[in-house]
Amino acid sequence: MTATFAKNIFTAFILVTSLAACKTLAPDISMPAGVAVPAPTAFQDLCARAPEECILPLNEQTRGLLTDLMLEVHSLVIPTAEDGDLWQTVSTPSAGDCEDFALTLRKKLREHLPQYGGAFLMATAYTEQAQYHAVLTIETTSGTIVCDIRYKRCGRWDYFPYEWHLREVAGQRHWEDIGNHQALAEMRAASIRRSSGR
């Protein structure tokens, strides 16, 4: 047996032994799979300070997920005019209105994409009929998009025929006022005139 042949046999033995060891150890040295949980509070604070760090990358995968969840939530929330104003999420097909739809969609998005929890923010507006309305806004790499119970697809915020009013602030208890106050006052006045029959 030549020295070169013996060296090759030894190298092959070491390689096979190492591969076997890797195969045996892999399950033990790999990090375990986990479950989706809310982002740490400090990370949510980061999103509040620097929203650009927490925006959702809008790509084929996230667009597909958003389309699927929109369909799912549309099947869960049966549009119904509420007597009063109760905000809630639903998990089974139930009567609900605009904010129930938006909150349920936000919950599902945060469950699927917890790392972008700060990108999913509630907002309120007045519709073209001067009705108060709630939607979900999403900060993405392509700008702000809106998901709305009145529409089957999400779209750019400025495509919607609304006068915007309030918007949730990531990681904070307060909301921000984003409204055109003169336009909002005119819409409120028109709404009051209609409801009083004048």
- pLDDT of residue 168 exceeding 80, the answer is yes
DSSP H or E segment with residue 176: strand 175-177
Domain topology for 41-195: C8orf32 fold (3.10.620)
Comparison of pLDDT for 51 and 95, the residue scoring more: 95
State how far the Cα of 107 lies from the Cα of 120, in Å rounded to an integer: 9
pTM value is 0.71
Express each pLDDT in 99-108 by its tens digit: 999 999 999 9
Lowest mean per-residue pLDDT among 24-28, 40-44, 131-135: 24-28
Domain regions of the chain by residue span? 1-34, 41-195
State how far the Cα of 79 lies from the Cα of 151, in Å rounded to an integer: 12
- Percentage of residues of the chain with pLDDT beyond 90: 52
- pLDDT of residue 134 exceeding 70, the answer is yes
Comparison of pLDDT for 7 and 112, the residue scoring more: 112
Lowest mean per-residue pLDDT among 46-55, 96-105, 137-146: 46-55
State how far the Cα of 83 lies from the Cα of 167, in Å rounded to an integer: 24
